[in-house]
Chains A and B, each alone.
Chain A
């Protein structure tokens, strides 16, 4: 047993971190706030060339052959650096296409030619677990679908990929987070081009873990942002970090980040190994990391005082993204209801 990433695993994460630092620094979110998409096509292609979309996909299916552990560390870096763009649905969408045997679609996604946005269902979950659905119906909220050829829907019964162009009544909406693009759309008997059921592949658990990993990154980044400010900001002739009101706020952030990180790494291994309590651990990870990211980001605004309330500062971007992540895969209350219904952990 060793819960910590190996040097090799950390190297993959840090290569990705360097790329994001150069190509998608947080300032991009402010600079492109009025553009229809946040990540331009050049950067998207380079991400594909780096192999970021297929990191956790088997080599024979066109991926890099790493595991969920490595993907988890990648998404933690994305959370830390508030990387914009539809990375999560693209990574999961490539997997769905590959596992469904839609190799052309998979290779279009993996090569960066086609991105995948995320569709959140309005209303109750639609698919029947017993049958394989062929079409999609209903109303949806879309995330980062503007320049995406496909959108991915994650239901408890399974994951479906459809063409964005087949959706109707698409209209964009202002988003609370300038790092995402939001739209509303309808689907009327839209053909499903790739489907993977929950029985075949725990794609939803992967999504929970990867989303939680981004929340961990936010919890860590806001802890660091606050700590740094507490060291350098001088008031009454001393750094504000000497005051327990600030010091203890930072200490609480450190505890939340550590708890969330530990649980997300634990859950990633449980899902990767197919342990009996994988769902328990993934729901626990999502619940803890999601909440702690919001709490840390909120505290960061307070620690920064007036600066924290400005658009120019990064604090609010972390807070807004933390809230976005809370609502991606069903509501937090729904996750808790599922968690309490699970058998006890192993």
Chain B
């Protein structure tokens, strides 16, 4: 049991901090649209040029191949610097890229991985469908084989950044006889292909990154199948073992600094009695303290998870506990922010603007839904951590 970082790790932290201070984008991130795409890609390019792209990617694929503790340090400093998330680059860097490394052919890896790292392309995900959400294996988007092409028809939904994306990791049913998990293929789809139509879905916070994608006889070369025809389910599942507990660290650090900002805000703002500062209100003070205790626990949980993963090759299912606890705490924190503002919270300020508490409050409803709902996380914890009967 120790919290000591070695001399090299402390120097590494200094190095990361200095580099981020000198190179992080100074401009405010534009709202959803082509300017945001350019902003996110430019920042990824800067990281590539500085030698910081793909910090958890193995060196053979052009990444930094950092140790778990170095990754932790990077994400902590990244979060502390108040930098925006890797939003539009997320699927490429943390999902499609790692899947390609594990299951793609040499040609596919050579073509795509470097482009992701260099900040040249945006990837999006094509998994969920209107009738296949948590039950992903119920997906119905069909692909029939014609010569050396797949011809895709169907619909995907909840695809973030589809309007900005170049490529998509797409799950399609290639064997109509195959039941559920069988007969699915994982395909690299060019988002500029004819027959693709993308429609935006406005979210409760007025956000525009959500999309639905329609496929009308979209032709995709058979060579774009990854990991073998009809074997897509196992390809999709192989991505999960890539994440070893560091990736959400930046979000947690951001949440911790949000709590600190709220404590400052509660000292400045007048409280519910209209006379004293909000922090003098017992209920608000207790909720702030509870938030502090819970974000501290979240960080300790992440440290515990990383410590556990340092002693084994494959991460265990405990990551679901961090995800579930994070969602719970984040929703409480943004609800507290909303309550702190009193009637001022009724004035809408988007989360992209300074003081965007109302926007962030609405956005917080997505954290217990996206990336596997909290109910699915509870099933995973029950089945795989506790060994309860299915």
- The chain A residues found within 8 Å of chain B, CB to CB, are 1-6, 9, 69, 223, 227, 230-231, 238-239, 241-242, 244, 247-248, 250-252, 254-255, 258-263, 265-266, 268-270, 273, 275, 280-281, 283-285, 287-288, 333, 335-337, 339-340, 342, 344-345
Contacts and interface: CB of A to CB of B under 8 A. Distances in A.
A251 B303 contact: no
A254 B389 contact: no
Contacts of A273: 3
B346 interface: no
Closest 8 CB pairs of A and B: A262-B300, A336-B289, A247-B382, A266-B300, A251-B381, A284-B293, A340-B289, A251-B378
A254 B385 contact: yes
B297 A284 contact: yes
Contacts of B69: 1
B4 interface: yes
A266 B2 CA distance: 8
A151 B231 CA distance: 69
Given A3-B304, A340-B263, A239 B321 contact: no
Given A6-B1, A265-B1, A255 B379 contact: no
Given A69-B1, A288-B297, A259 B325 contact: yes
Interface of B: 1-5, 9, 69, 72, 256, 260, 263, 279, 282, 285-286, 288-290, 292-294, 296-301, 303-304, 306-308, 310-311, 318, 321, 324-325, 375, 377-379, 381-383, 385-390
A242 B296 CA distance: 33
Interface SS of B by simple majority: helix
Nearest to A346: B3
A239 B1 CA distance: 38
Identify which of A3, A254, A265, A281 gathers the most chain B CB atoms within 10 Å of its CB.
A3
A268 B303 CA distance: 14
Contact of A336 (B285, B306, B310, B389): B285
A230 to B, nearest CB: 6
17 contacts: A1-B3, A1-B4, A3-B2, A3-B300, A6-B1, A231-B388, A231-B389, A241-B382, A251-B324, A254-B381, A266-B296, A269-B3, A287-B289, A333-B282, A336-B289, A339-B292, A340-B286
A6 B385 CA distance: 22
Contacts of A250: 382, 386, 388
B3 A259 contact: no
A122 B61 CA distance: 66
Nearest to A259: B297
Contacts of B387: 227, 231
B73 to A, nearest CB: 9
Nearest to B291: A340
A256 B160 CA distance: 31
Contacts of A258: 301, 304, 318, 321, 325
B300 to A, nearest CB: 4
Nearest to B298: A259
B285 A259 contact: no
A337 B285 CA distance: 7
A227 B388 contact: yes
A6 B307 CA distance: 11
Contacts of B388: 227, 230-231, 239, 241-242, 247, 250
B290 A287 contact: yes
Nearest to A287: B293
A172 B5 CA distance: 51
A26 B299 CA distance: 34
B166 to A, nearest CB: 38
Contact of A265 (B299, B304, B311, B324): B304
Nearest to A333: B286
A284 B288 CA distance: 12
A260 B381 CA distance: 17
Contact of B2 (A1, A284, A285, A336): A1
B296 A269 contact: no
Contacts of B5: 1
Nearest to A261: B304
Given A241-B388, A259-B321, 4 more contacts: A247-B383, A255-B321, A258-B304, A269-B3
B303 A266 contact: yes
B53 to A, nearest CB: 25
Contacts of B292: 280, 284, 339-340, 342, 345
A254 B386 contact: yes
Contacts of A244: 375, 378-379
A50 to B, nearest CB: 21
A340 B285 CA distance: 7
B300 A337 contact: no
A262 B303 contact: yes
B300 A265 contact: yes
Contacts of A248: 375, 378-379, 382
A269 B1 CA distance: 7
A339 B375 contact: no
Contacts of A238: 389
Contacts of A336: 285-286, 289-290, 293
A334 to B, nearest CB: 10
Contact of B386 (A251, A263, A284): A251
Contact of B304 (A4, A239, A275, A281): A4
